[in-house]
Structure 1
């Protein structure tokens, strides 16, 4: 596996989708009652890239967008947020950039995703070769990019090139059932890719999918450490997270917040967590930085626009007591 000290270069290549989010406006409005919407950059990989830039890192996005107004919106937004878009290719024809119609609500909030013939699935091996993953401090891949070809094969090549160059590979499982033909297919593909990654981050549902029917997701997380992963973060929603390394395991809680929506937390966590590791933070401190960023994003409108800066996370941590540990860390120890 790669040396995680390489993260200190703080230059990241992120693979996955960018999209347009349309939020019913003003916040709290239901989509079926809305007469106006506000537009924002979305998509898990784009959000992560923005989160990294906001945390003082450099991030390039590797994806495809449709050659139309929605694709151009995403390109313009990426540029405005300071994300390197040199490896974002516009595809013609009937491919379409993802569109999400979202409510800023905690109770019964709706998020309707349009992913028909998704443009980001058009990513090819040629796109990966042109991006040269070996040049970066780490490769960050999102699981949705594995859901269809040719994107799946392109991601596999990116992982192979990164590993050959000693570049750490970070895997955000990012399981979206509507992108896959079945949970069994997702489990098989995720298992193959996760076994090649240095850092794996996912929630309870995502690890459960990887584990398969009748198996425990936490056991799957332990198995990844045994197989060679260096850090595995098993997120448990309001119960916090369990983090496993080769040396230890620990549980952390969540920071209290006045959430106005559930979306964006995972992307902000991943960005701030990786940025924390890149700046020399110990694993626990990096997890807490990710948790702080997540708490801040769910209290703001939007996803990409809501990503906090490094200074904002620092200030949040300075004024907010650490969340209590949830559960007995000994119960989570790797085998």
Structure 2
């Protein structure tokens, strides 16, 4: 029987966000951490929430772990590796649209599956396990297989598995490698949360309905195809529904919007909402996030938006 905890697997980096001129703000972010941040804000504080990764022992890593702890997020049995350090990225903005520069080739998170026993312990007794295509992309082939085996075991023990393919071409050695790894991940997935332009680029889908049909054929029973400010397509139990996004007239920063959508959706599903209701609540959360700077909106912004859209 599944437990009550949620676990998100991946890489949390140091984030430098530009405030204009030579002023930069440092924070902590990364796609699967952004999703867990929203989940933590939107679920009962008594529900355990852990970020499963690998960490260094440098001051930045210690600050990162402390930051998570202050937000009620643990690290389960994630290894702390002597001499390792986190990856780093910088956000630059053109209007509200962002671009990223990364320094991550030797990040500790690339070793998150080096200890199979620790990884299995981190995923034990979970109601929900979440990971992404970026989680897969930062791992070599052997640790990637270890990760997917651990996720399959957690699923067999009763956890629901949620996956966002989140295709980032620069992280993969080839398109074929990305297709193969993401297709394998879908075989252990219960809830898929793809973004249509990513799927179009990687698999050649011509419309969101094609993405949903392909993922359903791969065995995924619950699918939400995001498409930025366009409507999302939800498909589940032989049904489908197109659900408009929430319009934001003057977005400030789109960083983390899709990740926060995922967190809002999964929080609503954990609360028992139907997929169509969960998408509407997730759209509202994403709309709130694009009105603040950085990937992580304050908990009070997320929770108040979520509560208003039940």
TM-score scaled by length of structure 2: 0.89
Match of 1:311 among 278, 288, 304: 304
Aligned counterpart, 1:226? 217
Look up the match of 2:95.
106
Equivalent position of 1:238 in the other structure: 229
Name 2:51's counterpart in structure 1.
61
Q: 1:305 to 1:154 in 2, by over 3 A?
A: farther
Whether 1:52 and 2:39 are equivalent positions in the alignment is yes
Number of the residue aligned with 2:9: 15
Write the distance in 2 (CA, Å) between the matches of 1:304 and 1:187. Answer: 29
Distance between the aligned counterparts of 1:154 and 1:42, measured in 2? 24
The 5-angstrom pairing of residues 1-335 of structure 1 reads 10-25=4-19, 29=20, 34-57=21-44, 58=47, 59-93=49-83, 95-103=84-92, 105-106=94-95, 109-124=98-113, 125-131=116-122, 133-147=123-137, 148-149=139-140, 151-211=143-203, 213=204, 218-257=209-248, 258-306=250-298, 308-315=301-308, 317=309
How far apart, in 1, do the equivalents of 2:242 and 2:194 lie? 15
State how far apart, in whole Å, the 2-side matches of 1:267 and 1:79 are. 20
Deviations 1:268-302 (A, max 9, x none): 11111001011111111101111111110111012
Q: CA deviation at 1:136?
A: 0.6
Output the CA distance in 2 between the equivalents of 1:153 and 1:118: 19
Task: Report the CA distance shift for 1:107/1:139 in structure 2 as closer, same or farther (over 3 A).
Answer: closer
How far did residue 105 of structure 1 move?
Answer: 4.7
- SS of equivalent residue, structure 2 residue 79: strand
Q: Secondary structure at the match of 1:274?
A: helix
* Number of aligned residues: 301
CA distance in 1 between counterparts of 2:43 and 2:157 reads 24
The CA RMSD measured in Å over matched residues stands at 2.3
Following the alignment from structure 1 to structure 2, what is the Cα–Cα distance between the partners of residues 255 and 126? 43
Counterpart-to-counterpart distance in 2, 1:254 and 1:217? 14
Closer, same or farther: CA 214–98 of 1 in aligned 2, 3 Å: same
Distance 1:223 1:61 in 2: 30
SS in 2 for 1:314: helix
TM-superposed deviation, 1:306? 4.1
Gaps of at least 5 residues in structure 2 are none
Helix, strand or coil at the partner of 2:54? strand
CA distance in 2, matches of 1:157, 1:88: 17
CA drift at 1:65: 2.2
Distance, in Å, in 2 between the alignment partners of 1:180 and 1:162 is: 26
Deviation of the 1:227 alpha carbon = 3.6
Q: Distance in 1 between matches of 2:97 and 2:288?
A: 21
String of CA shifts for 1:49-91, please: whole Å, max 9, x gaps: 1111100243111101222122222112111211112333222
- Partners of 1:214 and 1:271 in 2: how far apart? 25
Work out whether residues 10 and 275 of structure 1, in 8 Å CA contact, stay in contact via their aligned partners in 2.
no
Tell me, yes or no, if the aligned pair for 2:191 and 2:220 is still in contact at 8 Å: yes
Distance 2:206 2:180 in 1: 14
Deviation at 1:226, TM superposition (A): 3.0
Report the secondary structure of 1:166's partner residue.
coil
